Structure 1
Amino acid sequence: MHPAWTERLVSGVRALPEGLPPWCPGAVVLAGRGPVVAAEAATGWAVRYRAYDPDRDRGVDLPRDRWEPMRIGTVFDLASLTKLFTAIAAVQQVERGRLALDAPVAAHLPAFAPGITVRDLLRHTSGLAPELPFYAHRDGPDLLAPLWAEAAAPCGPYGVHRYSDLNLIALHLLLERLTGRRLDALVRDGITGPLGMTSTCYGPLAPQGVAATEDQRRPWAKADRGLLRGEVHDENAWALGGVAGHAGVFSTAQDLAVLCRTLLNGGAYGTARILGPAAVAALLDPPGLGFAVDQPYFMGELAGRGAAGHTGFTGTSLVLDRATDSFLVLLANTVHPRRRTGGSAPRAAAATRLARAVSAAPGRP
């Protein structure tokens, strides 16, 4: 990898907490190619604010001696990067012959319309609504009643891509019914345990060492929970008990680098194998199963040659590029202390710098 572009990648991330307004209070970046970690850096603050002041539209700082610096090993709420773990767990069941991608979801969850398949859930072509307010029914007798009503008659066009949290929530429920085990156990025993990803799990977690997220209060949030740290940010995942197919996993950049290398290696890392090469190809080949493929808005110049990855609402993202055997993990706490639409330009810029570092590497034409 070209050292000048690698340095630009790191310096660009280091600048993210310094903008006006800053994109995030803090961030961690980790990029590599083959077995080599080419860039690894932390910047800014994992915890800086104690609350959000809506009248002044700004965070309320903690005393300066209580600000906690971002570290390489800081744990993040991954938000929708959780979907990748659910997708891998599902494809593991396919590989073992226990689940078929083109099987109707109704074979496992009878409330679903008969045309929706497991593949539709993974590709977001089920027609299900983007989300439903389960959190509003958290104390009711049937938290999932809105999902069953939507699943019986999806409101969107079937077969057309329409990104939806409900797809991965449904897949979560399907996997638990199929295996008789909780999703967190499937992820632990099938992915994070074999790979030695000891910092990756569902919450809640003790707050120390975890990046803070939002001061979650109405009207800007969907629930009144206060400042969150070690508890899942997503309100629906919270309503579902913290373990959900679409959100809820916490991890570090270093652990996610292991996952990236595993997929780039065709499903193996060291002596552990969690998937075969054909199953990895099913996940990553366009249009992807659970993974987004060739999306310039966060992949920058890595897009266009089969790069795969995902983003998370809390400020997380990863991209892996089989064409160059490279990967990028960028984790930030963009929703600390309040959720905002900061856009993905910094993610795309970092990915572009990685693409140029690889293409301009010494010895390459």
Structure 2
Amino acid sequence: MVAVLATITTAAGAAAGTASHGRDAEGRFDRPQPAFASPRTVLRDAPPGRVGLDPAPIDAALTKIDEWTRTHPDPLVKDHPLYSGAVTVLAHDGAVVSRSTSGYAVRYADAAGTELPDAEKVPMRRNTIFDMASVSKLFTSLVVMQLVEAGQVDLEAPVSTYLPEFGVNGKESITVAQLLTHTSGLVSWIPLWSRYPDIPSRIQAVMDIAPRTTPGTNYEYSDLNLITLGVLVERLTGERLDEVVADRITRPLRMVDTGYNPPASKLDRIAATEFQTAPPRGMVRGSVHDENAWSLGGVAGHAGIFSTADDLAILAQTILNGGSYRGARILRPETLALMLENHNEAFPANPHGYGFELNQLWFMGALAGPRTAGHTGFTGTDLVIDLSSRSFAILLTNRVHPSRGWGSINLARETLGTGLAKALAVRPQHGRDSWYSGIGDASQSTLTTVSLQPRGHVEVKFNAFVDSEITDPLTLEASVDGTTWTPVPLRVSGRGAPDGEVVSLSGSGHRAWWQVRAHVPHAAEITLRWHFVTNTRYTGRGVHVDGIIVTERGRLLLNGEKEPHKLQPDAWQRRSR
């Protein structure tokens, strides 16, 4: 494995610490950075405009995040908000451009949602400590990669090389990499806390379990993978996992409020989670929510970390910096680059690095892309790190307070990531502005030309910046009567552009302007329109169209830059970014 690490030549590893576009890329969504940030980058507070961001999309997202501490986005849910409270941090290029707190860290008295008297409620604060749930998996994964870097672990070696007791019942071939990428075949979860009487028997149950599917043939997100890796770390280091994480990550990075089993002295700063009756724990606060982690003494590879938004911001910037922060290095850039690559190409719906989830619209929103990494936690937490824009978004809620049955907060996760993405600029290719789709879920917009009278076949050229869910297409359509519209085949070039002839444009992650050409058969009179349609969720950063030129036999029929009045927008907007 050491030899493999030494030969990694990814842009992120080779160019760590250098900015590919310099200040020209600041605040840009359409200028993806191939390299890590400088290892000397230290977080500082700055207003969005100082680093080239538009504050309006951020403000709109934070308004929603705050609103949902009082109401639910589903109008049919009238008896409780989306979550009790939230803390957020947004940052770009080393600048923390937004911090917000809303709602309550402690709000309810019981599982039914009986509100405490106002005097007994505890508001969310910047230093509120949250149970991070599965975000803990990142800490375990980072420690494993430290052991890889030190030559103590080979990612392609069977886990049984290090834990002989694991290599039974069909698990003999499972590798360390398969545990990190959730391709081991192990079932997602078993109730260790209720089926087994003590910690040794619970660990042994994980060592004994047989895989559900043949290792390497299926993706199944599994807590057991990371529980196993936590045991592996302890075996190889001779220390408890909490001590290893403290010694190798949190203390060097000065993450002062991050760790397992927080002390009683910090209880007044900890957000409450669920009122549990099985096991009969009452309102859980200051003890890990996850029942299996709780039954393992609060320290496990899959859950158990408590942290604050400020501490997680340090970890996020450390990742963006290529593994170091304020002079402390937790991983070499080439090791981190390997960790952040997609190792699940065989399972395209589940791109995954070593520990990090990648390119997931459902919680990353419009920040999602092949070089966007992060993780969520069941308690209502998430961390999104976008290497391409050197930005990160942190949303911490206690959404299981007082009950996990109150539902998902994925809409809030998506909203925050999209707000930051839309604050980043997409600069026009021609002139001062471009046409921007500007629509949300379950919508459509059209940009229609005036009626044209060509003498022959029509040629259309334009530039398109497309960042949308694959099911949200941009189509160029033609009509001879203004009523019936027919898609026009397109040929596209540019980074990430589709090959061959296509009838619509969609997709995300490439973050590049495309050059588009189309040929329209002759008609005595013809009208063209750009038609963008979205489904019920996940609209991405949106669509820009610019530089529209329509000709026939060299004769100019329409120049969108000089004749914008000949384009009739329905929900499209002229935008300078």
TM-score normalised over the length of structure 2: 0.60
Task: Determine if the alignment matches structure 1 residue 14 to structure 2 residue 66.
Answer: yes
Q: Which residue, 46, 50, 57 being the options, matches 1:5?
A: 57
Partner residue, 1:154? 211
Separation in 1 of the partners of 2:330 and 2:60? 34
Separation in 2 of the partners of 1:66 and 1:190? 38
- Aligned 8 A contact 2:399 2:409 in 1: no
Partner residue, 1:56? none
Partner residue, 1:178? 236
Separation in 2 of the partners of 1:121 and 1:139? 26
Q: Which residue, 412, 418, 425 being the options, matches 1:352?
A: 418
The CA RMSD over aligned residues, in Å, is 1.7
- Aligned 8 A contact 2:90 2:98 in 1: yes
The structural deviation recorded for 1:252 is: 0.2
The structural deviation recorded for 1:7 is: 1.3
Query: Which amino acid is the alignment partner of residue 328 of structure 1?
Result: A
Partner residue, 1:319? 384
Separation in 1 of the partners of 2:69 and 2:409? 14
- Aligned 8 A contact 1:2 1:360 in 2: no
Higher helix share: 1
Q: Report the count of equivalent residues.
A: 354
Unaligned segments of structure 1, at least 5 residues? 54-58
| CA-to-aligned-CA distance 1:179-217 (integer Å, 9 cap, x gap) | 111100110010000000001010143221000000011
Query: Which amino acid is the alignment partner of residue 225 of structure 1?
Result: R
Q: Which residue, 173, 176, 185 being the options, matches 1:127?
A: 185
- Aligned pairs for 1:254-293 (under 5 A) are 254-286=310-342, 287-293=352-358
- Aligned 8 A contact 1:138 1:239 in 2: no
Give 3-state SS (helix, strand or coil) of 1:101's partner.
coil
- Aligned 8 A contact 1:215 1:337 in 2: yes
- Aligned pairs for 1:1-365 (under 5 A) are 1-20=53-72, 21-53=80-112, 59-110=113-164, 111-112=166-167, 113-140=171-198, 142-150=201-209, 153-159=210-216, 160-206=218-264, 207-218=267-278, 223-286=279-342, 287-340=352-405, 341-359=407-425
% identity of equivalent residues? 46
Larger Rg: 2
Query: Which amino acid is the alignment partner of residue 143 of structure 1?
Result: R
Deviates more, 1:70-79 or 1:111-120: 111-120
Deviates more, 1:201-210 or 1:327-336: 201-210
Moved over 4 A (4+): 360-365
Separation in 2 of the partners of 1:79 and 1:196? 21
The structural deviation recorded for 1:249 is: 0.4
Separation in 2 of the partners of 1:358 and 1:138? 51
- Aligned 8 A contact 1:10 1:39 in 2: no
Separation in 2 of the partners of 1:83 and 1:325? 22
TM-score normalised over the length of structure 1: 0.93
The structural deviation recorded for 1:346 is: 1.0
The structural deviation recorded for 1:360 is: 5.2
- Aligned 8 A contact 2:207 2:228 in 1: no
| CA-to-aligned-CA distance 1:120-179 (integer Å, 9 cap, x gap) | 0100010001011110145347223321221xx311232121100000000000111111
Higher strand share: 2
Separation in 1 of the partners of 2:427 and 2:325? 25
